[in-house]
Structure 1
Amino acid sequence: MKMMSKQQRLHPAAILFNFFKVIRESLFIIILGFITFRDNNSTYFILGISILIILLAAYSVASWYRYTYRVEEEELRVEYGIVIRKKRYISINRIQSIDLTAGVIHRIFKLVKVQIETAGSGTGAEAALKAVKLSEGERLRSELKNRNKQKEVEVEEEESETPAYPFYKISFKRLFLAGSTSSSIGIMLAFLLIGVSELEQFIPDRFYNNAMTWVIGLSIIIIAGLALLVLFILWVLGIAGTMIKYGNFTITKNNEELFITRGLLEKKQLTIPLNRIQAVGIQESIIRQPLGYVTVFAEIAGGSLDKGEDFSTVLFPIMRAEEVEGFLQELLPSYAKQPDEFTRLPKRARKFYLFRTVIPMVLIGAVIAYFFPQFSWIPIILLIGSLYLGLLRYWAGGYYLEDNHLIIRYRGFSKMTMVIYHNRIQSFETTQHKIQKFQKLATMKLSIIGKLGAGRHYTIKDLDEVDADKLMNWYSYQD
């Protein structure tokens, strides 16, 4: 069928997005000019900034006017460029995913950003329509995916009935729990410490010394109370961040695609073709594992930096471990099997896991004990914690092999279970250093294609030598 549509421009709000973009790109020049002229010649600085803003505004309007798109002869045709006219033709057959994203400004004007990706999109989307009406974005997505419009109308009319396709939506209770048990508090604490350390150079010495004297003069109880207050604030911010990111999270399977919608402030609609899924993972953090909750995610081949912050795509932020098999059975049945027993690491591997985990903590503890002897209790806590983490890593390690797929399990801080099919593995290798060879152990490493076309690597250390050979033979199709 030959599809044609008239040449169209983006919504005028795209002028705003263009303007903000060029302002951001020119921010270094503006700051440099301010620093140069802040003491004198401020009139020239204001005049220069005014002229620059006028030029940038004119450029934004011209960029919007010269940017057009249309669907013609089974292609999406995009033309842009003010002085040099550029044309980009994207065959509909090459399109892998079409994502709709709506930031705060988009939602005010009922607009969306349309991101179109092909298998070779690289670090950026193949085409990105910054601002189109929501109805136009949905129409364009439907047209490019060759969907029957009449069927869509019928589905909309029957929304009150049971969905025709598997559908999951996160509840407020689960969303709150996801935020409460997320690891974002550690990330924010690290940024806070870095920020405080950098802030020190901007604080007057007298004020800084007085503040430190006041803190040192406080009792241990008050200091502990302030630390708990800071942690509580970071915890609340972590909950808020998770709820903003994953608010209204829904996932639906439609034929050969998964559709994910999420976000409160910035609403994202992601399309995941099933044939681009390279592996499915189950993550159990140290906090969530005792509670019996996990995160389910997928490794997707290709993609672009425009996708967002994640190098793995979350299929569901949080669910009970016993719910995973049913969830995958409906959405990705080939990845649903959850084995009861894994082939575990041999007992002789335990000492290596303990050694690798303990040594860094011993070194850190020694530094603390030497420079801050009053905190000599900290190395003891670090030692106990590292011993326990080493045991957790040893207990987690293992694999399950059946026919054409492999399930591996390992732990960093979080326990990870990855389901990978033979035809998705790009490389497989086993290595042995001298001590491992003496102990008849080996390290297994396999790689798949991840986002941005980069490899994703998975390693299990200190497998039994027999098991490592068995896995290598399986990958090589050897008897």
Structure 2
Amino acid sequence: MKYRRCLLRWPMNSGTKYHGWRGHMKMSFEKRRLHPLGMLLIAVKMIKDMALPLLALLASQVLRQALSSWTIMLAVALVLAILVMVALSWYRFTYSTGDGVLLVEHGVLVRNKIVIPRERIQSVDFNQGILQRLFGLVSVQVETAGGKKPEVVLTAVTRREALELRQMLMPSAAPDDHEPQAELGLHKDLPLGYLLLFGVTSGSGLGVVLAVSSGLWATLDDIGLETKVIEYYQWFVEHGSTVALVAFLLVFIWLLAVLGMVLKYGGFRLTRTGDRIQMVYGLLHRRQVSLPVRRIQALRLSEGLLRQPWGLVTLQVESAGYGPKSAEKALLWPLIRQSDLPRFLQEFLPEFKSEAERGHSSFEVKSPGGAINEVPLRQLPPGTRIRYVMRALLPSAPVAALLIVWLYHIGFAYPLLPLALPLVFMVMGLWNHRDAGWGLRGNMLSIRYRVFSRTKVIVPRRCVQSLTISHTPFQHRAGLATFNLDLASEARFGLLHISASDGIELAGWLESQHQTPQASIRKHF
């Protein structure tokens, strides 16, 4: 048998002595199996994982007119083997609870046993796919502290069993959004207009569509259909306009990206009940994520290039216990106007008010562009502007030179066009310097920076695990420094080229916190 010993560490104060698997198996457990629909879900997952290579093989055989009876028999045998493996996997998968632990056993050829003490469980989240929603089932994900992925996934259990399991493993968990008790907490639904605007102004969905498109083209190349696509393209160029084709493809891809974001985040609802925040979203695949407020390490406010002119921000949180595996875990609210943000934070995250603001009803908002100034920001020294410009300009210059040589080689009509690339990066460097800044107010630290989107991070002092202040010889001569801070969620934030005196002030701010003696400060001056 194969054991997950990493999950068998018991707390010293639990009063439970662990003497290996023999002593553990004496505990009383009522074993349960997944809903029979779980077999279908397992089969769908296995087929989905194998679909692309199988389809490529089948298409290549058909196109080459090499489809024989042996090929058909092999395909049928493979399908039967998958069905048998699915049935055995479902039958051998059991879960049970007892004596404050969750016990999961699974595996056909190799038997695996996972024991998770209740004290180590950080979250019990629910997901619902299309088939699960049709049959009133949910998928339960159990995560432990610092896990990079869920330790246990129960793909098909009834909602009642899922609620009972979560209540047993996490007695303090917030009630489900479908339960009447959930109405006692604060809740907010994302309007349809903001959902569409979130999809229109989001660049992440476009990246997914482009990645899928490149994978599809690689598949067409493998099965020999790329020549057909090229022929259609050449025919369209001869009888139409290349500009029109490119415009059509861009609009089509953009609409697909918008549709994907709407399906993914449709029906977004945020609920605050007690000390837990719950996010529920998804039109086809319904997801439910629950976060303890005490584990939120930082609040992240992101303004994309298309959202900043309209005063729109996306709210994300850094949470300890989930690990950096999923950005979706961090999404607190997809889109909100900056003018509405103070009231929103006052209702759902009043913990992120500084000590100096505890007596006020809302955050301070005063900026010509509507920027949030709950923590006033200090700009970087003016002399550091050239450093930001050169940092952005130097990597782009060799790339532009190589592109010019290549365009000359292929006989492109405008070979000097890549000269615009360093200019674009130079403007980005100026932009990054203008938006960079930091500020302190009470127990709150605010950091603002830009890569493409402008991002502001608000960090309570109690959540800082370590602060590093360092400088290079060139920075030392100019009286500058770099600071980086680390959180328990493994996130890291910092700024380049702050003044050395500001670095000393930041170190003093953290040293004055007596409630977090585990936080460390490293100063290299």
TM-score bucket of the superposed structures, by smaller chain: 0.7 to 0.9
1:290 counterpart = 2:309: yes
Q: Name 1:310's counterpart in structure 2.
A: 327
Q: Name 1:183's counterpart in structure 2.
A: 203
Deviation at 1:405, TM superposition (A): 2.9
Structure 2 residue aligned with 1:385, among 401, 421, 424?
424
1:78 counterpart = 2:101: no
Deviation at 1:356, TM superposition (A): 1.7
1:420 counterpart = 2:459: yes
Work out the percentage of aligned pairs sharing the same amino acid: 28
* Cα deviations by residue, 1:136-194 (Å, 9 ceiling, x for unpaired): 32333234332699x989962x88xxx43221110000001111111136525753784
Q: Name 2:15's counterpart in structure 1.
A: none
Q: Name 2:249's counterpart in structure 1.
A: 230
Q: 1:63 to 1:190 in 2, by over 3 A?
A: closer
Q: Report the TM-score when normalising by structure 1.
A: 0.84
Q: 1:272 to 1:189 in 2, by over 3 A?
A: closer
Q: Report the TM-score when normalising by structure 2.
A: 0.77
Contact residue 362 and residue 379 of structure 1 kept, 8 A: no
* Cα deviations by residue, 1:196-237 (Å, 9 ceiling, x for unpaired): 98567856779848955974x689xx4333322222212211
Q: Name 2:121's counterpart in structure 1.
A: 95
Q: Distance in 1 between matches of 2:308 and 2:399?
A: 27
Q: Distance in 2 between matches of 1:101 and 1:326?
A: 30
Aligned residues: 461
Contact residue 200 and residue 208 of structure 1 kept, 8 A: no
Q: Name 1:63's counterpart in structure 2.
A: 89
- Which letter does structure 2 place at the counterpart of 1:98? V
Contact residue 465 and residue 488 of structure 2 kept, 8 A: yes
Q: Could you tell me which runs of 5 or more consecutive residues in structure 2 were left unpaired when the two chains were aligned.
A: 1-27, 354-362, 364-372, 514-520
Q: Distance in 1 between matches of 2:439 and 2:244?
A: 47
Structure 1 residue aligned with 2:70, among 41, 44, 52?
44
Q: Distance in 2 between matches of 1:153 and 1:366?
A: 57
Structure 1 residue aligned with 2:485, among 437, 442, 446?
446
Q: Name 2:497's counterpart in structure 1.
A: 462
- Which letter does structure 2 place at the counterpart of 1:178? F
Q: Could you tell me which runs of 5 or more consecutive residues in structure 1 were left unpaired when the two chains were aligned.
A: none
Q: Which is further off, 48-57 or 34-43?
A: 34-43
Q: Distance in 1 between matches of 2:291 and 2:177?
A: 23
Deviation at 1:267, TM superposition (A): 0.1
Structure 2 residue aligned with 1:172, among 192, 195, 212?
192
Q: 1:55 to 1:145 in 2, by over 3 A?
A: same
Q: Distance in 1 between matches of 2:433 and 2:195?
A: 31
Contact residue 376 and residue 441 of structure 2 kept, 8 A: no
Structure 2 residue aligned with 1:8, among 32, 47, 63?
32
What's the RMSD between the two structures over aligned residues?
3.6
Q: Distance in 1 between matches of 2:160 and 2:123?
A: 18
Q: Which is further off, 263-272 or 203-212?
A: 203-212
Q: Name 1:330's counterpart in structure 2.
A: 347
Q: Name 2:139's counterpart in structure 1.
A: 113
Deviation at 1:282, TM superposition (A): 0.4
Contact residue 98 and residue 141 of structure 1 kept, 8 A: yes
1:357 counterpart = 2:357: no
Q: 1:204 to 1:59 in 2, by over 3 A?
A: closer
- Which letter does structure 2 place at the counterpart of 1:326? R
Q: Name 1:301's counterpart in structure 2.
A: 320
Contact residue 361 and residue 379 of structure 1 kept, 8 A: no
* Cα deviations by residue, 1:298-336 (Å, 9 ceiling, x for unpaired): 11223269x7x5265100000001222221222221224
SS of the residue corresponding to residue 230 of structure 1 reads: helix
1:239 counterpart = 2:250: no
Q: 1:119 to 1:362 in 2, by over 3 A?
A: same
